[in-house]
Amino acid sequence: MHALQIRPRAPWTLVGEGLAVNPVTAARRWHRMENAGLAWVTAYPRLTNSRIVVTGIVEVDAEPGAAEDVARTLAADPAVANVKPTSPPCSSREPR
């Protein structure tokens, strides 16, 4: 995962070389992490005038059972470009 954080568009041949594994193995490991929800790719549009655009990443913690409502509220705000939940809604988890 770190190799793709450094160079997100790196071909699997280069990633495999850096990890000393076959490129197919590198790709398979990525897909396994992606399918498990441990890794993902997010793209944002490039805006033409960077002087008037401010981008930030904000992490929001929600009370158990409220994550979906919080995400909907944030998504309804026109200033919010993207909402990316990183875990399933708390209501679908087993109690700890």
Residues 6+ apart with CB under 8 A from 82: 42, 44
Q: Residues of the chain whose pLDDT is less than 70? A: 43-55, 88-96
pLDDT at 90: 46
CA distance 58 to 67: 14
pLDDT at 64: 86
pLDDT at 47: 65
pLDDT at 52: 62
Whole-prediction pTM value? Answer: 0.48
